[in-house]
Amino acid sequence: MIGMVMFLVCLLMLLFGFPVAFTFGGVALIFGLIAEGPQLFAFMPYRIMSIMQNTVLMAIPLFIYMGIVLQRTRLAEQLLEAMGRLFGRLRGGLAISTILVGALLAASTGVVGASVVAMGLISLPVMLANGYDKKLACGTICASGTLGQIVPPSIILIILGDVLGLPVGDLFRAAVVPGVVLVGLYVAYILFVSWKSPDSAPAMPQDSEDSRAQEIGKALIAIIPPLALIVVVLGSIFAGIATPTESSALGAVGALILATAYRQFSWTMMWNSALDTVKVTAMVFAILVGATAFSMVFSYTGGDYLLEEWMLQLPGEKWGFLILTMLIILILASSSTSLKSPLSWYQFWLQSLNFLASTCSGLPF
C-alpha cells in the first residue's frame, strides 16, 4: 500500500499548490527511501540521460522558441486589432476575436503561458473599456489561452507522445478536430451569452472610416503570415515530409523570418527569446525528471498494479475513468481559485456536483 499512499500524498500536495516538479521528485525521494533505500535510485541517472538523448523531446525547446519569437513580433496585437475591426460590430465580437486569435496563437506557439499573458495584456483592457462583463472577459482569455494544450503543435502532446510511445504526428493529427470543435463551442457560448445578456458583451463602436472590404483586407494581411507558418509546420508533419523535431526547427526559422518581415528582428530580441526559451524548457524538463522519479518508485512499490486494478473496477469502464479524471482535475484546479470563505467553497462544490450529476445522467450506464 506504500504506492497508493504515495499517490494520495502527491495529489494532496498538488491540491495545496506545491510546484509539480518538486512535488513529484520530493514525494518519490521520500517514499523511495522508505521502501528500499538509496540503492533504489541507482538507475536514476540512466533514466535522466535517456530523457536528454530523446530526439522527440528536442522539438520542445524549438517550438517554445518559435512561440516566444512570435510573441515578441507584436503578432497577437496586430491580430486582435484586425479581428476586432472585423467582428467588433457584433455583440460579443471582441470576445469572439479573442477566441480566434487565441486559437491562432495556440497553433503558433504551443505554450499556454505565452498565450494567456499575451491575450491578457492586450485584449482584457480593450474588452473592459468597451463595457464587457469582467467575468466574461477573464473567462474568455483563460479559455482561449489554454487552447495551447490541445491545438497542435502542443508541448503537452509532444510529452504525451513520448510517455505513451505514440507517434507525435498522429497525436497532432488527432487533436485538430477536437481543437476546432472546442473553438466553435467557445464562439457559440459567447454568442449565446451576448444574445441573452446584451449588456455583458456590447458591440464595439466603429470609429474607423474604413469600408468593410478594407477591414477584411487588413484582417487577411494580419492572419495570412502566421497562418502560413502554421500550415508549413503542421503540413510538413501531416504529409510525412518532416518529423515533429524537424518541423519544429522549420518553425523556429520561420518565426525569425516573420520577425524580420514585421521589422522586429534584432540580436537583443534573439538573445532575450533564447533566455526565455531556456527558462520554460528547464521548467518542462524538471517536471519530466520529477515524473520519471515518481513513476520509478511508484512502479517499484507495486502501486501501478493496484491503481490499474482499481481503475478497471470503476463503473462505466472508460466513461467512469474519464469522469473520475475530470473530477480530480476539477479538485486540483479549485485550489488555485479565490474561494477563501467556507460559504464560497460550499457553493462551488454544490455547483460542481450538480454539473457532474447532469453530465453523468446522459452516459450509457
Residue 138: CB atoms within 10 Å = 15
Task: Please indicate, yes or no, whether residues 51 and 176 belong to a single structural domain of this protein.
Answer: no
- Please report, as a single letter, which amino acid is at residue 265: F
Task: Please indicate, yes or no, whether residues 125 and 245 belong to a single structural domain of this protein.
Answer: yes
| Domain presence at residue 132 | yes
pLDDT at 363: 42
Task: Please indicate, yes or no, whether residues 214 and 325 belong to a single structural domain of this protein.
Answer: no
85 alpha-carbon distance from chain centroid: 27
Task: Please indicate, yes or no, whether residues 111 and 229 belong to a single structural domain of this protein.
Answer: yes
Contact 2, 297 (CB under 8 A): no
| Domain presence at residue 119 | yes
Q: Which of 223, 272, 66 is nearest to 153 (CA)?
A: 66
| Domain presence at residue 37 | yes
Q: Which of 205, 231, 222 is nearest to 83 (CA)?
A: 222
Q: Which of 243, 265, 210, 258 is nearest to 84 (CA)?
A: 210
- For 338, the enclosing helix (H) or strand (E) is none
Q: Which of 160, 145, 79 is nearest to 115 (CA)?
A: 145
| Domain presence at residue 273 | no
Task: Please indicate, yes or no, whether residues 47 and 95 belong to a single structural domain of this protein.
Answer: no
pLDDT < 70: residue spans in the chain: 1, 76-77, 88, 107-122, 204-212, 215, 332-365
Task: Please indicate, yes or no, whether residues 331 and 308 belong to a single structural domain of this protein.
Answer: no
| Domain presence at residue 3 | yes
pLDDT at 7: 79
Task: Please indicate, yes or no, whether residues 96 and 208 belong to a single structural domain of this protein.
Answer: yes
pLDDT digits (tens, 9 = 90+) for 38-51: 888 888 888 888 88
Task: Please indicate, yes or no, whether residues 76 and 213 belong to a single structural domain of this protein.
Answer: yes
C-alpha cell at 237: 508533419
Contact 287, 162 (CB under 8 A): no
Domain that holds residue 293: 1-56+283-313
Task: Please indicate, yes or no, whether residues 292 and 254 belong to a single structural domain of this protein.
Answer: no
pLDDT at 206: 63
Task: Please indicate, yes or no, whether residues 34 and 121 belong to a single structural domain of this protein.
Answer: no
pLDDT at 339: 46
HSE value, Cβ hemisphere, 13 Å, CA-based, for 308: 6
φ/ψ region of 242 (left if φ > 0, alpha if ψ in -120 to 50, else beta) reads beta
C-alpha cell at 114: 505565452
Task: Please indicate, yes or no, whether residues 134 and 236 belong to a single structural domain of this protein.
Answer: yes
| Domain presence at residue 276 | no
**Residues contacting 204, CB < 8 A, separation 6+:** 84, 88, 89, 93, 94, 130
C-alpha cell at 33: 527511501
Task: Please indicate, yes or no, whether residues 51 and 83 belong to a single structural domain of this protein.
Answer: no
| Domain presence at residue 275 | no
What domain count does the chain have? 3
| Domain presence at residue 95 | yes
pLDDT at 335: 54
